Amino acid sequence: MLLNSKNNINKFDFNLYKNIFYSFGIKGLNIFIGLLLVPLTLNYLDNYNYGVWITLSSLVGWFGFFDIGLGHGLRNKLTEALAKEDIQLAQKYVSTTYGIIGIIIAILILFFLLFTFFVDWNILLNIDKTKIANIDLKYIILITYSTFCLSFMLRLITVVLTAHHKTAKAASIDLIGKLFVLIIIYILTKTSFSSLFLFSFLFSVVPAVILVMANFYFFNKNYQHLKPTFKKIDFTLYKDLMSLGLKFFFLQISAILIFETNIIVIGQLFGQEQVTVYNLGFKYFSIISMISAIVLTPYWSAFTEAWVKNDKLWIKKSIIKLNIVWILLVILALLMLYFDRFVFKIWFGEKVFISKKISILICIWLIIMAWNATYVSFFNGIGKVRVQMLIGIFAAITNIPLSVFFAKIYGIEGILYSNILLSTLTIFIYPIQYYYLINDKAKGLFNK
């Protein structure tokens, strides 16, 4: 049956909207739990140690790009195989991706074990040795890093779910992990002394355990036909996965160098307390990005399927709807900006002060990113990411020196000036590329 038949379109849209609806509930709870974790964590640790934790988790997050784009490559290739009902190929894609990432993780953990004990992390990250001893910091980083590496392989189960248009189920895995973390941290605040080591151990290990359980459950109940096995690993598919995956790899590096380096630069130039200031402001306004992601996540695989089946009318209607969603997000962002003082007072009281200027700049930046995200979701879904990749690489290369330059003049606000300036590069380019692609007029870079 063709997607562009009326009944199938209705069914397709219904499943899409159902996932968005459920995802709003699940992600809404996720956001709420994330907000509750902030005052709990500040109470259990303190401003300085909280800033250290944010810096460490940000640094460890950099290693996520070592999947070399295979996760996103699997997402598109698996969706295509399922759309063509080629189950055998689909299982090979899943098994091969698990196998390759498993090998990468083993190498990364071994390398890090050898590397970490020869590095003075206190000097590298500008962390006071009188507050956190060097050996303690090494063990904290090692545990956080190792569990992260394992988690980003185990998280492939969410790619499998998303390829089946089950984004709500994928989101529920994160929710369960965060809920258990919230309960455990609450218990710690009532029963234990402040310990960054204990906090980082539980914050890292608990979600990893939930992911192990999710893999076991879904591959033994719902997706036995896709369950990864050694005999289904086919390394000849590596090029097939990597042809698109390598482009996503560069996009991931670019995103990390733009989003995550803010925290490192702030920590180096202004200290860990200011990392807390920036992070809490960003966390508040990132609700805009989270809502955008909730809506857009199901569309990525939906765009893939629609493009494979040449249903461009559905794509056009979807982009119009998503632009309306963006307008609603702008209204929400302005309301959040107006009430930020009130929310901050309730959320963390007088413990941290976030200036209005920082709030305004973060708000503007995330509004621009939400606009870009609509078109990025479409480009990612159909694999036309060359323009996005080149702009991302340019932004990644210039972001750190530009951030440092502006930061020395304007303080923390200067880093946000850099982010806003670089994110505006694509405001007009992305809609133009979309226009050419959807009307079969794209040539050269716009068609790659």
Inter-residue contact 245 to 387 (CB < 8 Å):
no
Give the CA count within 13 Å in the CB-facing half-sphere of 46. Answer: 6
Angle 421-422-426 (CA atoms, 0-180°, nearest 5)? 110
> At residue 434, does pLDDT exceed 90?
yes
Angle between helices 70-83 and 87-116 (to 10 degrees): 170
* pLDDT, position 26: 83
Total Cβ atoms within 10 A of residue 129:
13
Rounded CA separation 290/283 (Å) = 10
Q: Which residues of 320-344 are buried (b: 16+ CB within 10 A; e: fewer)?
A: eebeeebeebeeebeebbeebeeeb
| In the predicted structure, residue 3 carries a pLDDT above the cut 50 | no
**Contacts with 343 (C-beta within 8 Å, 6 or more apart), sequence order:** 284, 336
144 touches 199 (CB < 8 A): no
**Mean pLDDT, rounded, of the chain:** 84
- The tokens for 281 are 């402001």
- Closest alpha carbon to 298 in 174, 434, 431, 170: 170
Q: Say if residues 22 and 301 touch (Cβ distance below 8 Å).
A: no
Rounded Cα–Cα distance for residues 226 and 217 (Å): 13
From 444, 99, 73, select the one nearest 246 (Cα to Cα): 73
The answer on pLDDT for 12 being more than 70 is no
Report CA torsion sign: 26, 29, 31, 34.
Answer: negative
Residue type, 430: Y
Q: What are phi and psi of 223, to 5 degrees?
A: -130, 45
Q: Determine the Cα–Cα distance for residues 448 and 442; give it in Å rounded to an integer.
A: 9
- Cα separation of 402 and 207, whole Å? 35
| pLDDT attached to residue 400 | 87
Those residues whose C-beta lies under 8 Å from the C-beta of residue 421, and which sit 6 or more positions away, are: 402
pLDDT digits (tens, 9 = 90+) for 81-114: 888 888 898 899 899 989 988 888 888 888 888 8
To the question of pTM greater than 0.75 for the whole model, the response is no
pLDDT of amino acid 301: 79
What is the rounded average pLDDT of the residues 166-186? Answer: 87
DSSP state of 440: T
* Choice between 67 and 295, residue whose per-residue pLDDT is larger: 295
- Confirm if 257 and 337 have CB atoms less than 8 A apart: no
Check pLDDT > 90 for residue 116.
Answer: no
Distance set, CA 145 to CA 105, 111, 200 (Å): 11, 12, 10
Of 16-20, 130-134, 231-235, 242-246, the one with minimum mean pLDDT is: 242-246
Tokens 């303190």 found at = 46
